[in-house]
Structure 1
Amino acid sequence: MCGIIGVAGVPDASRVAYLGLYSLQHRGQESAGLVAVDGAGVARSHRGMGLVSDVFGESVLSALPGDVAIGHTRYSTAGTSVLANAQPILAGWRYRDCRGCC
């Protein structure tokens, strides 16, 4: 049982996602994480162990600019409760502008 939120097309999406994670905290209290993507396609992430309010402060949210964000709270049903298992996991990020592709 975990909590997941996605936000798109919103200025300062990480702050909106943070509020969503806070309201979903009952779905997972072991760890929390956010990935935000800015207009240039640069993805930044932060994750940590504990409650949402313990993992994210003003300085962390300020370092996650962008208008797209995804967040996750974890309640482990498999795997141990360690930072390596906290999500979302950002690996091999590649940005592609799809305007006009479809």
Structure 2
Amino acid sequence: MEILLASAVGILTAGGIYLILRQRTFPVILGLSILSYAVNLFLFATGRLALNQPPILSEHATGYTDPIPQALVLTAIVISFGMTAVVLMMALSAYLAARDDRIDMSDDKGEDA
């Protein structure tokens, strides 16, 4: 189970970084979203992988799962959704202003630095 989870975090991280390094705005936004999913999965795994365990220790339970990483992941999902909406609106306004979604790293005047 741990190998599967670690592989998923690694694949999501590699895919997110690859998309962030692209020259278009839409793949960059997708890369940030995928990278946030990888971080959420990593945070969720820090609470130990325990199946069929209650989140709160009671008299009848033999063990429990840590509820703090679950709360952190839930908060991170809400924050990443809001930030994705903000970045998407910024990218849309930049596309409407320039009529192109390419990220240009060169000088606007055509002069070399």
**Bucket of the pairwise TM-score, normalised by the shorter protein:** under 0.3
With structure 2 as the length reference, what TM-score do the two structures score? 0.25
Q: Considering only CA atoms, is the larger Rg found in Structure 1 or Structure 2?
A: 2
Which of 1 and 2 has higher RCO (CA within 8 Å, sep 6+)? 1
With structure 1 as the length reference, what TM-score do the two structures score? 0.27
Larger strand share, 1 or 2: 1
Larger helix share, 1 or 2: 2
